[in-house]
Amino acid sequence: MTFVLDDRSMAFTGDALLIRGAGRTDFQQGNARKLYHSVVEQIFSLPPECLIYPAHDYRGLTCSSVGEERQFNPRLGGERSEGDFVGYMENLGLPHPKQIDIAVPANLKCGHIPGAEGGLAAHWGPVRYTYAGINEIDPDWVADHAIDLQIVDVREPSEYTGDLGHIRDARLIPLGELGKHVATLSKDDPTVTVCRSGGRSAQAAVILEKQGFTKVANLAGGMLAWWQHHLPVVEGIAPH
């Protein structure tokens, strides 16, 4: 469903037409042929200068135009035929999103089905699932509940004892060695991964999830955010 301003200067294309892409049609009653005709016959009938705002973009882009997508969209633009598009969409080979079997029934019932909320949220803390596919948690909450958490710092030893210091009782396991030490960590305790800015620790969280850790989250913003929130550290000095 696309919402268009009265003067046709802007269109909000939801999950149908994305920037240089198109919404998936392999679940939630999707149909590649219907999507093709919806975009080509409806959205692409708008003026070329009409701005397009999709519901989301994993690269952080926010806006395109009808003219741009008609020319450059690799799935629907140029001379792409219905057969081209359907063949492309039917062979994406993408895995289904996490919790899709819970989210789709919830969507079809306006978000309210018995038991759905329990499957979509973490029970051990205010974890949020980012567009990058990572579970994150905020520094303030971690500081308040650190005694109940298994905190794993995946930086190098020189960083652990360096300027930013480390969170008290955080266990140092450099990212490159995490695989060898997984068995020494408890899968029962909520686990928070930490690094300088949240990049390496995000990867660490994914590694632990693949190893069967069901209660794991990345510290949002890493030790830099920890300092910004004026939270206590061991052996650290304020970053410049």
Specify the CATH number for 3-89; select among 3.60.15.10, 3.40.50.300, 3.40.50.10190, 3.30.565.10: 3.60.15.10
Average pLDDT over the chain reads 88
Closest Cα to residue 77, out of 30, 48, 40? 40
Residue boundaries of the structural domains of the chain: 3-89, 95-120, 124-228
CATH (residue range 124-228): 3.40.250.10
**In the chain, count of helices (H) and strands (E)?**
10, 12
pTM reported for the whole predicted model: 0.53
Dihedrals phi, psi of 136, to nearest 5 degrees: -125, 160
- For residues 164 and 227, the answer to whether their CB atoms sit within 8 Å is yes
Q: Where are the alpha helices (DSSP H) in 49-198?
A: 66-72, 82-89, 100-108, 116-120, 139-144, 157-160, 178-181
Provide the b/e sequence for 78-115 (b: ≥16 CB within 10 Å).
eeeeeeebbeebeeeeeeeeeeeebbeebeeeeeeeee
Sequence-distant (≥ 6) Cβ neighbours of residue 68 within 8 angstroms: 52
- Tens of pLDDT, residue by residue over 28-69, are 788 999 999 999 999 999 999 999 999 988 888 999 999 999
Interval 15-35 mean pLDDT: 90
* Residues noted as catalytic: 195
**CB atoms near residue 2 (< 10 Å):** 17
pLDDT exceeds cutoff 60 at 100: yes
Cα–Cα distance measured from residue 130 to residue 150, given in angstroms and rounded to the nearest whole number: 21
- Tens of pLDDT, residue by residue over 202-239, are 999 999 999 999 999 999 999 999 999 999 999 866 55
Cα–Cα distance measured from residue 237 to residue 239, given in angstroms and rounded to the nearest whole number: 6
Sequence-distant (≥ 6) Cβ neighbours of residue 79 within 8 angstroms: none
Cα–Cα distance measured from residue 69 to residue 63, given in angstroms and rounded to the nearest whole number: 11
pLDDT at 36: 95
